[in-house]
Amino acid sequence: MTTTPPTTPLVLGAMMFGTTIDEETSFALLDRFVERGGVWIDTADCYSFWASESGQGGDSERVIGRWLAARPGVRDRVRISTKLGAEPLWAGSWPEHRAGLSRRAVLDAFAGSLDRLGVDSVDLLWLHQEDRTVPIEETVDALAELTGRGLARRVGASNHPAWRVERARAHARSIGALPIDAMQLNSTYLRVRPGTRPPGVVHPFGVLSDEQLDYARVNGLEVWAYTPLLSGAYDNPAKEIPEVYDHPGTARRLEALDAVASELGAPRGQVVLAWQVARGIRPMLGGSRVDQLDVALDGVRLALSPAQLERLSSPA
């Protein structure tokens, strides 16, 4: 008798599907993810314009759409999350000229996502990055049109400061619409030096802060963490931990991480994922190999003792 695996809090990030990760490998990752209890698959309309032949996004959504079409019934087992607002208006125009978050841009971009994914709705629609040229109320009105028609079941904000999220939520409540209930930000175990950002994080408010986390906890918002494993640098000797993490606090945190990893007999990366889950954060994995996915799926199921969680969260 076949048993259904327990669901996992890990999110499968599909950023490079269809570009640096070919379709066969993408399908293998998606199949394995579902086989092991995976539910959430995350993509964006702009993935991955910087690696595509056209200079624009859409490849990731198209691959997921073809996978869904090739796996009858799997749509009922997974939840699809996509983002909009960061797609270049034309090849080479990012970041100066991107779609943005006006009403027209939101509705047009979302229609394109549904078409590429081959679905009639998505489970979570994200604002990919803030757009200060548009009142957040206009963006929320557009989201309300989509949620009101059942085309997006939930809405979230990625790379937004807490005050913009709060303003968006207040406006949604005032018009009787579904408010933003999730935030997606860069987060890992190590912390960058003040005034710096990790490589690849171009958004001023893209790194999860204590204030954003506190805001999310108090108001019941989910927090999703992208790049939680520093692209493999915790465990791969060939990859250096980025220079922005080079400060005294890092040495203390790595010492605590090594101690807990030794106690559990687990790699550093698995402990990082377990630490995120223990703090109520949903980590995202963007790996390119099935074995990497398996290691991460094992990691989020590691159980940390209260003492280990305290040691990791407040290293001496």
DSSP E strands, 99-154: 124-127
> Is 226 among the catalytic positions?
no
Within 220-247, where are the H helices?
A: none
CA separation, residue 295 to residues 250, 287, 302 (Å): 24, 10, 11
Q: Give the DSSP H/E element, type plus range, for residue 99.
A: none
Question: What 3-state DSSP class applies to 222?
Answer: strand
Question: Distance (Å, rounded) from C-alpha 296 to C-alpha 273?
Answer: 7
Nearest to 45 by CA among 58, 26, 63, 64: 58
Amino acid at 180: I
- As given in the structure block, the two tokens for residue 230 are 């520093």
DSSP E strands, the chain: 11-13, 40-42, 79-84, 124-127, 155-158, 182-186, 222-226, 281-285
| Residues tagged active-site | 47
